[in-house]
Amino acid sequence: MFKPTIIVHGGAWAIPAELTERSLEGVKVAACRGQEVMTRGGSAVDAVVAAVSSLEDDTAFDAGHGAVLNLKGEVELDAIVVDGQTMDSGAVCGLQGCAHPVQVARLVMDKTSHCLLSGSGANEFMQAQGIARVPESELVTPEAQEEWKTYVQFSSAVKNLFSERSAPPPPSGCDTVGAVAMDANGNLAAATSTGGITAKLPGRVGDSPIIGAGAYADSTVGAASTTGHGESIMKVGLARRVGELLEKGETAQQAAEHALDFMSRRVGGAAGVIVLSKGGETGTCQVGTS
Amino acid sequence: MFKPTIIVHGGAWAIPAELTERSLEGVKVAACRGQEVMTRGGSAVDAVVAAVSSLEDDTAFDAGHGAVLNLKGEVELDAIVVDGQTMDSGAVCGLQGCAHPVQVARLVMDKTSHCLLSGSGANEFMQAQGIARVPESELVTPEAQEEWKTYVQFSSAVKNLFSERSAPPPPSGCDTVGAVAMDANGNLAAATSTGGITAKLPGRVGDSPIIGAGAYADSTVGAASTTGHGESIMKVGLARRVGELLEKGETAQQAAEHALDFMSRRVGGAAGVIVLSKGGETGTCQVGTS
């Protein structure tokens, strides 16, 4: 028997003062939900899905309710779950009108022979599975709308002055969420969910729904969930890179630090990661964020 | 000065006798196109895009013209290009009505701050970049239609008798394409393009457009392009795993073999990979295919 363990994160960006209390409360509630699931005999997969679902309900985070808006002012959601026992995985990207994208990701894993469904195909799958589409107005917060308006105004001013390729907007306090867990059987799982980045191009897919980038789990090695600048994380396969370093014998903390070091040196970018090794050790690290 | 080198592949499945000559001719033409580009001073990125574009023109392969059809009988195309110097990457998934998805992938890399665009967002981006949408009838071959019809009939018979979760159809002779190259400056690049698998769920994304799964390039390490059962390749991050083994000092051939060995042992599935190390060594291997 192993000791059931869960770690959750609510992103790695600086949390503004007015969000600190809600953010801390949100990750505590999510961790407790996940832990309860395992206490009642649930698996690590059940636990990370429960924890991330809880964070998707909480508008303090950029996932499900509270997600940021794309360039058109729409919500497009990405999520993944990975089962470390089989290395099976389910993920969705560009999902719209969904309260719990991580639950649709799990259905992709359990009900299809695929790992990742995108856009309108993901939406059709969700509805075929009997999950009702929620009105976008239920997901969008006034803060997300405000941030989008600020960006669009700033961007159109910059575009006229400089070039079409504008820098990404400054990050808000809301951020990607994730969880890693080990259950009583020693199996590991990871899950990640996000609305991406404000004013992303429609259809933009970041690291979160990508195996090895936004999440990784192999019960013979460890599990990781990442957050931060999606493109940097994808380029280096941050979550899998943590797995590589665990395989080499590094501790969970060393693996988190060294994987982020590599990302910073090779492609730049800001990110954070949570890690759980097969031995139950935990590690967390962030770079380029404050 | 380095010796410009290119390797291309046209998939790893068994090629039926009637396709063998066309397939061999297709990969030769593509390799020559890529090599010519570098002879005229082009970069490794230019070369792999030229080679893969040539394969996308050729209906002997499942990419661009000749792509297989999804469950609805539609074409949905995935492609990626990776620049090993910067580790920048551009990719598209679920693109429709596109003759050269790899060229749109390159535009994602060159013109946006993103790495991957999906579905309708990818289509809007393509059109905004001035690339005309071609009628689907130009891409679909009689063979692709025939294979789709066979699957749909078989599947509906099986579904009535057994369960909703039917096995994937037997693979056709047409397959995913890819290329890896090193240019005169010693920079590496990789590109991969595919129509995916016949009767895939709409929106299904396979390994091809995923950095570290369908392609990987880091000029300080090596480059790889993969093909085969997308879900298995994604789960283990096959292309990046080749990179890990090169970093450990394995030869290109050893890295190809050992990465596929791991995939077979851990998650099963059939696949192939082409590899070019930073030293210009080549490696190719396939498992589970004949």
Structure confidence by residue, pLDDT tens digits, A244-255: 999 999 999 999
Is B111 inside any structural domain?
A: yes
State yes or no: is A176 an active-site residue. yes
Determine the structural domain holding residue A64 and report its residue range.
5-150+167-283
Domain total in chain A: 1
Is A90 inside any structural domain?
A: yes
Is A113 inside any structural domain?
A: yes
Is B199 inside any structural domain?
A: yes
Is B92 inside any structural domain?
A: yes
Pick the range with the lowest mean pLDDT from A74-83, A85-94, A150-159.
A150-159
pLDDT for A162: 47
| Residue B229 assigned as binding residue | yes
The nearest CA of chain B is from the CA of A61 a distance in Å of 22
Is B152 inside any structural domain?
A: no
What's the CATH code of the domain at B176?
3.60.20.30
What DSSP string runs through A68-111?
Answer: ---TTS---EEEEEEETTTTEEEEEEEE-S-S-HHHHHHHHHHH
- Cα–Cα distance between A104 and B138 in angstroms, integer? 35
Structure tokens belonging to residue A237? 């396969």
Residue in the structure block whose two tokens are 């047409």: B174
Contact, B90 vs B107, CB < 8 A? yes
Is A155 inside any structural domain?
A: no
User: How confident is the model over B110-117, as a mean pLDDT?
Assistant: 97
Is B159 inside any structural domain?
A: no
Question: Taking CB atoms and an 8 Å limit, are A235 and B211 in contact across chains?
Answer: yes
Question: Is any Cβ of chain A less than 8 angstroms from the Cβ of B115?
Answer: yes
- Summarised one tens digit per residue, pLDDT across range A134-175 is 999 999 999 999 999 998 887 766 655 544 444 555 556 689
pTM: 0.95
C-alpha distances in Å from residue B279, one per residue of A256, B53, B85, B223 = 30, 26, 14, 11
Question: Taking CB atoms and an 8 Å limit, are B93 and A118 in contact across chains?
Answer: yes
Question: Taking CB atoms and an 8 Å limit, are A204 and B116 in contact across chains?
Answer: yes
Nearest to B211 among A117, A200, A234 (CB): A234
pLDDT for A288: 86
C-alpha distances in Å from residue A121, one per residue of A117, B137, B140, B209 = 6, 21, 20, 17
